[in-house]
Amino acid sequence: MTVRTPDHEIDPLFLERWSPRAFDGSDVPDADLQAMFEAARWAPSAYNSQPWHFLYAKRGDANWERFLSLLIPFNQGWAYSASVLIYMISDTMPATGKDGAPQPSSTHAFDSGAAWASLALQATRMGYHAHGMSGIQYELARAELGLPERYQLNAACVIGRIGDPAQLDEKQRAREFPSGRKPQSAFVHAGNWPADLP
């Protein structure tokens, strides 16, 4: 079990956010979900283009089972216990051109990642956990979600309250704790690309 200790002082929220796989399935009230989407709404983006879209299903609603079935089987195996499942999409052609004309964007996924991070941190702040997933059956999901060509399906996430790890299989249970991180020296570089890195 890793205890998260930062090398420099930061807001504890950054350390409290982690990605469990056991959730308790309890309802996330709409007002709480709206607060998480609100945090996403205020994320920064190139030209303030706000290219993110979120398609969500809540446990037990008309879309829940269908949304779950679009994940890869490994993720279905634990995500079923969460309370909200969200597909995170970005507009590859946001309205940043002249008179709001659609323009190709090189940052649509980057901007949408900032929105997802905001959502996850707000969820943490409210006592929930969010767990991102790229284990999606992408082609099937695109078709089932009715995505037009112009939109990119980036990732999914679930949100819920943490549950009993006993409900996980043995392998997942062994990994059900907050992970550590590389030191800053592995990814922060003063000046040019370091010659000793590939």
CB 92 within 8 A of CB 104: yes
Q: Contact between 138 and ligand FMN (CB under 6 A)?
A: no
Mapped onto helix, strand or coil, the DSSP state of residue 66 is helix
C-alpha separations of 168 from 39, 79, 165, 171, 181 in Å: 30, 10, 6, 8, 24
Q: Contact between 133 and ligand FMN (CB under 6 A)?
A: yes
Considering only 48, 106, 179, 185, the residue that binds ligand FMN (CB under 6 A) is 179
Q: Contact between 109 and ligand FMN (CB under 6 A)?
A: no
- Tell me, what amino acid is at 138? Y
Mapped onto helix, strand or coil, the DSSP state of residue 178 is coil
Residue 135 or 165 having the CB closest to ligand FMN? 135
The DSSP secondary-structure symbol of 147 reads -
Gap between the Cα atoms of 18 and 21, Å rounded: 10
Q: Contact between 132 and ligand FMN (CB under 6 A)?
A: yes
Tell me which residue of 74, 42, 70 sits closest to 56, measured CA to CA.
70
Q: Which region, judged by CB under 6 A, interacts with ligand FMN, from 40-48, 91-99, 128-136, 163-171?
A: 128-136
CB of 17 to ligand FMN, least distance (A): 7
Q: Contact between 77 and ligand FMN (CB under 6 A)?
A: no
Greatest Cα pair distance, the chain, in angstroms, is 56
Count of residues in contact with ligand FMN, rule CB under 6 A: 11
Q: Contact between 75 and ligand FMN (CB under 6 A)?
A: yes
| Phi, psi angles (nearest 5°) of residue 151 | -100, 140
Which residues, 12 to 71, sit near ligand FMN by CB under 6 A? 18-19
Residue 28 or 136 having the CB closest to ligand FMN? 136
CB of 50 to ligand FMN, least distance (A): 19
Can you give the binding site for ligand FMN, defined by CB under 6 A?
Answer: 18-19, 75, 131-135, 155, 178-179
